[in-house]
Amino acid sequence: MKNDIIHAAIKNRTVTIFMIILVAIAGIYSFYISPRQENPDVSAPAAKITTIYPGASPKEVERLVTSKIEDELTGIEGYDFSKSFSRNGISVVIINLTDDADIDKAWDELRRKMNDIQRDLPEQCEKIDVNTNMIETAGMIISLSGEKYSYEQLASYAENLKKDLTKVDGITRFDVVGKQEMEIKVEVDIDKLNQYALSLDDVLNILKAQNIEIPSGKIEDGSSKINVKTSGMYESLEDIKNTIVEVSGQNGSVVRLGDIADVYTDLEDSNYKIRQDGENAVLLAGYFNNNENIVFIGKEVRAIFDKAKSGLPSDIKIDEVIFQPGDVEKAVKSFVLNLLEGVLFVVIIVFLGMGWRNAVAVSTAIPVSILVTLAAMGVMKIEIHQISITALIVALGMLVDNAIVVSDAIQVRIDEGEDKLEACLRGTKETAVPILTSTLTTIAVFVPLLLLPGAAGEFLKSIPQICIAALSASFLVALFVTPTMAYMLFKKGKSLEKKSIIRSFFSNLLSLAMKKKAMTLIAALLIFFVSLRIIPVLGLQFFPKADKSILYINFKSENASNIDKTEKSVIEMEKILSAQPEVLSYTSAIGDGLPKFFFSIEPGSQSADVAQTMLQVDLKREKRFKTNEELANYLQGLFDSEIVGGNATVKLLENGKPIGDPVQIRVVGDDMEAILENARNIKDELNTIEGTVNVNDDSSDKEYEFFIDIDDDTATSMGFTKADIQKQISIALKGMKASVFRKSGNETNIILTSDIKSKDQLENLAIKSSFTGNKVLLKQVANISLMPQTPQLKKYDRELAISVSSGVKPGYSSVTIQNQLQKRLESMELDNVRVVFNGEREEIISNFGDLGVFSAFAMLIIFMILMIQFGSLVQPLIVMLTIPLSVIGSILGLLVFGNPLSFTAVFGIVSLIGIVVNNAIILIDYINGERVKGAVLDDACKAAAAKRLRPVMLTTITTVIGLIPLAFSGSSMFAPMSITLMSGLIVATLLTLVVIPVFFSLTMRRIKKI
């Protein structure tokens, strides 16, 4: 049946060629329309719950809000752990789900629970905000800045630009970030207020009552209806100032708001500001629809920008902080170039190793298989990004393997004088089972990798998907297209078994090895165990850093509540950055992080003591630094020595699953004082370990606050409730929204506050009783003292916790550092706390362990496939001896190229398992065939190595050559993977041609004796 199909493909070769053309068109079309992005979307099963509790201390927020929310979260299906931050007036809780959770169901349950718990929180709490889209990354961030322009003016220009940009198809929205809203402040003079029987609460209620518009209805006279409208809304600041707040009962004189308060327009007390290259700025953050070709969208956006620039004042600067379409286009072009280079190298090798006719037939498998794979990617909805193109490069060299084996078998038969059609049919039939087995064994490795859990597995998922599709395509091409091309092109040629230097070398080496079989196997084992001893020298790494010309800086101020001090420190940082020739531009956000500009960056949380700066760099400008890491370490040294008032941490963008600092220790317990003390002891110890840099903890220094101790007995006897006292203090110090001023379609909040600036003024604030109407000074019912307070309480999975972390200097290993610290902690007295390590070492143990488990499954599947083919339990074990042989090469390759054993390198080693067994399959299949013909065992082994040398060497060389562009691309993430594949395959092939025949002979001879 199979021969009939192949016969039909050859006889109807015009139809076969037409089908190839159709497949080519489908692949090209799929490549053209496929969505393009920089990296795959990695789902982050996490949500942020934010609750504002005005005026509450961190302890009150933690006890009355955070803890209640955390308790509710544990009941959500799929709950993994939570992190929380309780600060003055705000609670932030982040819930993380397990990888296998039903995310949509969990988030629906989360929103329902938060709605239910709202009534159990203090009445003053604002509505709980639930953000379940923490992964959303801005596809483009555009800054508008100008030295002479206010935030309000810049925001106005940004809003106009936003209107044009939101019309572009493929964009979900644009946000104007850093816009400073205006507000109307009513600042009451407390000394004047105290002269009247008024309280701040009274003024608040008057403003609410006077600025109101209630529908009045209509007058109907039977023939018509006329609406009735009553004047009630404020129309100007003068209207607010003229609001009557008290009327004298004795003489009828009135007191207007302007008599006791200053009414003016000002910027909101914002906790968020943007700066671009040292100037005030606002940002336009754009977000793309999923599954869109953002390169096309980016070109349309750029056209709008170019047009918009001509309509803006010349002194307003528009800068592309992040423009993902351009980055994606550049990255895709670079990887496609690597792919095309690989194709070219493979074709050249095929032409050098075979006659031009054979080379054309074999090389046809490359474009046809790639185009079939591209069409399959469209069906599977796999986007074009650096991971998917890398997968094509990895698969590239393997695409001709099956075609080489089939064409070699056909050529041998033609050279022996067989009819060309018969040679094509028999040669294909003869090799169909071996190439099917080799294809299945290779696929068998990639199938379990599809199931690799977590963000790391999700990030690299398209590699096994595409490799499986490409290998399946190459098998079908070898089975139908290659014999068709062979029939059209092949001719009888000279014997290809002539002696050559390479053939003579392997023949002599194998002859020697067959004489010293035991020594050969012992030598192979010794080499394997020696290579394993090299692993500690390589060092371990989870994911290499991203290959992007971007660094970012996270800043934490020592003052938890003063955004002006944070901004001052950021300005000092910017002065340092502006003096560095490698820094092209920098964008700072003060009071929060920038809009998420890379998929692996964790979203920030609004706070007056934090800032984030992103900088674009070009290392080629001065050539002072070879890598981003060197520049980052240099900048870190400058910040450590020159920035006071806070801590600046220079960071590199992370690939795969973000883990933050490579060395992380979490100190957990019930007593925050004990946690703090032990965390600082651990921090001091970590500082003494060689190789650490930028050692920090996330605790906050205590700050002094005024504590108002209300005398309950005195206050109650005088008719005052705690609500009276607390509300009026809150209005005086924090301010409270009284109403909204509406004009020309714009809304501006009216905020009532006071002019209190000192403890004495606060003590002399007159408080009014809601029961008696009497007023007394605050100091008559309360005592005000200065007390220290922890400005922030952090928890991990509902337990108080402080994290200690460290970066790692180049040339040092985070795993080694954590091991050293762990040994030292064993001798330290850590009272009333638990210490949990959760840095890079733990990610390596977890994810490398997953790879190990899935590679074991892969080897089991390979064994079953081989057992079915060979009908033996022993021969599959002989074939799988090539796996440790490949590990030797991979480890040596990493050592030579100076790469650590990273996740992608291990991923390459695991992927290699299914590739290296193919050569052994070809050898043993030939040995079995010769033995059936009556050949002596050792002679059959030697003949197999001689007869299959050319296809074995060609398949190996093509695979290796195809990976060369990727290996030397400079990619910190994919170069290690390609190096392990290349070096592992080279060494495994060289050893396979000698060790496998020797081991086969030795094993089968012993079995025969038994």
- 509 and 389 in a single domain? The answer is no
- Does one domain contain both 443 and 371? yes
Residues 932 and 964 occupy one common structural domain: yes
User: Domain check: are 961 and 992 in the same one?
Assistant: yes
What residues form DSSP beta bridges with 319? 143
User: Which of the 8 DSSP states describes residue 880?
Assistant: T
What domain range is 406 assigned to? 355-492
Count of beta carbons in the 10 Å neighbourhood of residue 861: 17
Domain contains 547: no
| Neighbour-count burial for 491-518, b at 16+ CB within 10 Å, e otherwise | eeeeeeeeeeeebeebbeebeebbeebe
CB 401 within 8 A of CB 436: no
In the predicted model, is pLDDT for residue 817 greater than 80?
yes
For 219, 513, 520, 984, the CA distances from 921, given in Å and listed in that order, are 97, 20, 20, 17
Q: Give the confidence band of 126 by pLDDT, cuts at 50, 70, 90.
A: confident
Asked if 485 and 364 sit in the same domain, the reply is: yes
Residues 6+ apart with CB under 8 A from 668: 675, 796, 799, 800, 801, 833, 834, 835, 836
725 within some domain: yes
Closest C-alpha to 877, from 857, 862, 891, 896: 862
- pLDDT of 896 strictly over 60: yes
CA 211 to chain centre: 49
What residue type is 82 in one-letter code?
S
Specify whether 406 is located in the same domain as 486: yes
Integer Cα distance of 189 and 200 in angstroms: 10
Residue found under tokens 């006279």: 221
Confirm whether 954 is domain-assigned. yes
Mean pLDDT calculated for residue range 48-77 = 88
* Nearest in space to 354 (alpha carbons), one of 489, 508, 507: 489
Q: Are 187 and 261 in contact (CB under 8 A)?
A: yes
* Structural element, H or E, at residue 792: strand 792-796
Is residue 54 over pLDDT 80? no
- Give the C-alpha separation, 800 to 802, whole Å: 7
Is there a single domain that holds both residue 970 and residue 1000? yes
Half-sphere exposure of 516 (CA within 13 A, CB side): 10
Let me know whether 881 and 990 are in one domain: yes
Q: Which residues of 971-998 are buried (b: 16+ CB within 10 A; e: fewer)?
A: bbbbbbbbbbbbbbbbbbbbbbbbbbbb
Share of the chain above pLDDT 90, in %: 7
Statement: residue 871 has pLDDT above 50: yes
Task: Give, as one character, the DSSP assignment of residue 711.
Answer: -
Q: Which of 441, 471, 492 is the last residue of a domain?
A: 492
According to DSSP, residue 62 is labeled I
Q: Amino acid identity, residue 660?
A: G
Asked whether residue 923 is assigned to any structural domain, the reply reads: yes
Q: Are residues 780 and 708 in the same domain?
A: yes
State the pLDDT at residue 580. 93
- C-alpha closest to that of 660 among 792, 557, 796, 803: 803
Whether 126 is in a domain gets the answer no
Q: What angle do CA 983, 986, 987 make, to 5 degrees?
A: 85
Q: Quick one: 431 and 452 in the same domain?
A: yes
* Distances, alpha carbon 974 to alpha carbons 253, 645, 802, 899, 955, in Å: 82, 40, 35, 11, 22
CB-based burial, 148-174: b 16+ in 10 Å, e otherwise: ebebebbbbbbeebbeebeebebbeeb
Alpha carbon distance 594, 610 (integer Å) = 11
- Residues 646, 652, 655: CA angle, nearest 5 degrees: 140
Domain boundary among 441, 465, 492: 492
Question: Which CATH number goes with the domain that contains 752?
Answer: 3.30.2090.10
Q: Tokens 């039909």, residue?
A: 8
67 band by pLDDT with thresholds 50, 70 and 90: very high
Name the least confident of 160-169, 344-353, 380-389, 882-891: 344-353
232's tokens: 């009630």
Write down the H helix ranges in 12-66.
Answer: 13-33, 58-61
Q: What percent of the chain has pLDDT over 70?
A: 94
Is residue 655 within 8 Å of residue 543, measured between CB atoms? Answer: yes
- Indicate whether 675 belongs to any domain: no
- Kindly state the average pLDDT of the residues 399-407: 80
Q: Are residues 256 and 366 in the same domain?
A: no
Segment 901-939, tens digit of pLDDT: 888 888 888 888 878 887 788 788 878 887 888 788 888
Residue 209 covered by a domain: yes
Which residues are within 8 A (CB) of 618 and not within 5 positions of it... i.e. 6 or more apart?
549, 582, 584
Looking at the fold, whether 968 and 905 belong to one and the same domain comes out as yes
Q: How many CB atoms sit inside 10 A of residue 732's CB?
A: 24
Q: Residue type at 389?
A: I
In this prediction, residue 572 carries a pLDDT of 92
**pLDDT by residue (tens digit) across 129-178?**
988 877 778 888 989 988 888 888 888 888 888 888 888 888 888 888 88
Provide the CATH number for the domain around residue 476: 1.20.1640.10
153 found inside a domain: no
State the pLDDT at residue 1010: 42
Mean pLDDT over 579-597 rounds to 90
Residue 551 pLDDT > 90? yes
Is the pLDDT reported for residue 947 higher than 60? yes
Looking at residues 492-510, what average pLDDT do you find? 64
| Per-residue model confidence (pLDDT) at position 497 | 47
Lowest mean pLDDT among 152-161, 228-237, 393-402, 747-756: 228-237
3-state secondary structure of 340: helix
b/e per residue 298-327 (b: at least 16 CB within 10 A): bebbeeebeebeeeeeeebbbbebbbbbbb
Domain boundary (436, 471, 492) is at 492
Total-model pTM: 0.77
Interatomic CA distance for residues 793 and 802, integer angstroms:
9
Question: Does residue 726 carry a pLDDT above 90?
Answer: no
Helix-strand-coil split of the chain, %, nearest 5: 55, 20, 25
* Number of domains composing the chain: 3
